[in-house]
Amino acid sequence: MKIHIDQLQEGCILTDNVLSATNRPIIFKNAIINKHLIDVLQAFLVKEVQVANLLANGKEFKPAFFEEEQIIDTSKEEVTPHKAFYQQYIESVHAYKQLFINWQSGGLLDIQKIRHIIIPLIAEIELNDEEVFKLYHYCQQEDYVFYHSISVALISAFLAKKLGYQKGEINQIAITGLLCDCGMSKVNPNILKKNVSLTESEYKDIRQHPVHSYNMLKNIMSIKDGVKMGVLQHHERIDGSGYPLNVKGAQLHPYSKIVALADTYQAMVSIRPYRSKQSPFKVLEQIMEDDFGKFDITIINELKKGIAKFSSGTKVRLSNGVDAEIIFIDDSNPTRPMIKCLITQEIIALKERRELFIEEII
């Protein structure tokens, strides 16, 4: 919806770039409004912005009454698939949060509620699969576990579909992704809230969450064994370097291999207390180089193809702060496309400029 900036509230989420009088972006879409950004908008004499119908905390945004002549008529505004998908995603995050809080208090896991949260979203990615690779924009640091879990479920479903799984198993793999961190509810909440490095003891506790997750599921007869094993093994690695059991290779359930990559990828692109969010291009490059041999190469290739769909015309920001546009992606180097700088119009082949990388999709 389009609103006057006097109606903005902290927590509003921009759904479009805000441009200056010279058409330079002032604030990029998906930014979450805070007092500083409101001051910026006022300084640039911006009068109206496009925002989502939900606040970052998942509550419905209802602008306060404004003088009649300044009300923007949004009755004919088209509801785009992106907006519908985004709102459904946020609602799922907050529904999962409520379940997680209940588990922290000793509540039992209800698989029907889990299905109700994630199955409708899986159907949405049939039409919005490119949105799966933009979810990292929405992750809120204070609610990281909940955003992360929904995102891992969706990326897992995306990968499962591309790998040729049928609908029933795609749903099961998505549920595996959603529940792989449910055991975090059994970890000391103070550890989850820490914004500094964990102690050795705290890190050991965190590494037990796959076991906690498995224990929460193991006696629920309506949950398939593949989901249970996928949850238990999602931090195991093909080369045996994972945890908690150090199993490897053929010992790993196929579901766990998919969720392991989805979980790692989503964790790396998301904002964390110790670093800002990273672009899918940068993270894929790190996985291919630094984690070679840890993940199934067939699954990595599907992740690579998905990210490569950000083809000609996608706007990106480089590690040197320059904004650019992708003009060509080489299948053999998908993380290092050819780009054109928006201001200078200089064309750069990133595969020849190893000191540069794509920092963010804008």
Considering only CA atoms, which of 280, 257, 254 is closest in space to residue 267? Answer: 280
Checking if the pLDDT of 305 tops 70, the result is: yes
E strands, the chain, are: 2-4, 18-19, 25-27, 48-50, 315-318, 323-328, 338-341, 347-349, 358-361
Q: CA 4 to CA 47: how far, in whole Å?
A: 6
Q: CA 146 to CA 88: how far, in whole Å?
A: 14
User: What pLDDT is attached to residue 182?
Assistant: 98
pLDDT in tens, 251-284: 999 999 999 999 999 999 988 766 777 888 889 9
User: What pLDDT is attached to residue 21?
Assistant: 64
Query: How is 131-156 classified by DSSP, letter by letter?
Result: GGGGGGGT--GGGHHHHHHHHHHHHH
Q: CA 66 to CA 5: how far, in whole Å?
A: 11
> Do 283 and 266 contact (CB within 8 A), yes or no?
no
Establish how many alpha carbons lie within 13 A of residue 189's alpha carbon, considering only the half-sphere containing its beta carbon: 7
pLDDT in tens, 310-356: 666 888 899 999 999 999 988 788 889 999 999 999 999 999 998 99
pTM (2 decimals)?
A: 0.78
Checking if the pLDDT of 292 tops 60, the result is: yes
Q: Where are the alpha helices (DSSP H) in 270-323?
A: 280-290, 297-308
pLDDT in tens, 174-196: 999 999 999 999 999 999 888 78
> How is the beta sheet containing 358-361 ordered, strand by strand?
347-349, 338-341, 323-328, 315-318, 358-361
Checking if the pLDDT of 75 tops 50, the result is: no
How distant is the alpha carbon of residue 74 from its chain centre? 29
Checking if the pLDDT of 100 tops 60, the result is: yes
> Do 154 and 139 contact (CB within 8 A), yes or no?
no
Establish how many alpha carbons lie within 13 A of residue 186's alpha carbon, considering only the half-sphere containing its beta carbon: 19
Mean pLDDT score across all residues of the chain: 87
> Do 237 and 295 contact (CB within 8 A), yes or no?
yes
pLDDT in tens, 217-244: 999 999 999 999 999 999 999 999 999 9
User: What pLDDT is attached to residue 343?
Assistant: 94
User: What pLDDT is attached to residue 64?
Assistant: 60
